[in-house]
Structure 1
Amino acid sequence: MSTTSQKHRDFVGEPMGDKSVTCLSGIGETLGRRLEVQGFNKAYVVLGQFLLLRKDTEMFTDWLKDATGANSRQAESCAQCLREWCDAFL
């Protein structure tokens, strides 16, 4: 059974609103700055990319790794967080 961080549970447990990209599980300050430079300053903008990629975890993790230099663990954590949020709120 996989475990999730408190950050992940907090994000998935409530509407996204206007949260910063760094509220996403797997995205810390460094990756957050890299995303912000590319225009992905809010969690909902990253969600938009996830949805454009048809909620395909593999395509999203590849995109996130290419866009930010995230490692596999970080990218998969972010994808899982977004998928669970979608399951709860979409």
Structure 2
Amino acid sequence: MSSTSKKHAAFVSEPMGNKPVTAVPGIGPVLGERMKQQGYNKATQVLGEFLTSNREPAPFNNWVQNRSGANSSQSGAATNAMGEWCDNNL
């Protein structure tokens, strides 16, 4: 397994707070703008979708890909980060 990015480490170790959607690993400026155009401005909104999917990777990956046009690597990074954040904070 590869090491996590600095973005991932920071995301999972901090409170969700008022982080922008681009704070979510796998979601950079381009994908973040696509998410914002659909009303997903904050990481908490993405977390809500993750929890709505019962923390199941496949449906959440599909949701990220459908909302942002992310590839499987990008959606996987978002899924892994959300899962680890939940493990650490819920």
- TM-score normalised to the size of structure 2? 0.97
2 CA distance for matches of 1:68 and 1:21?
Answer: 11
Q: Once the two structures are aligned, what percentage of the paired residues are identical?
A: 48
1 CA distance for matches of 2:16 and 2:34?
Answer: 21
For the pair 1:68 / 2:68, whether they are aligned, the reply is: yes
Unaligned 5+ residue runs, structure 2? none
1 CA distance for matches of 2:75 and 2:3?
Answer: 15
1 CA distance for matches of 2:75 and 2:58?
Answer: 9
2 CA distance for matches of 1:67 and 1:44?
Answer: 15
| Runs of 4+ residues deviating >6 angstroms | none
- TM-score normalised to the size of structure 1? 0.97
Task: Tell me the amino acid that sits aligned with residue 87 of structure 2.
Answer: D
Task: Tell me the amino acid that sits aligned with residue 20 of structure 2.
Answer: S
2 CA distance for matches of 1:83 and 1:30?
Answer: 23
1 CA distance for matches of 2:42 and 2:8?
Answer: 16
- Secondary structure at 1:8 match in 2: helix
Unaligned 5+ residue runs, structure 1? none
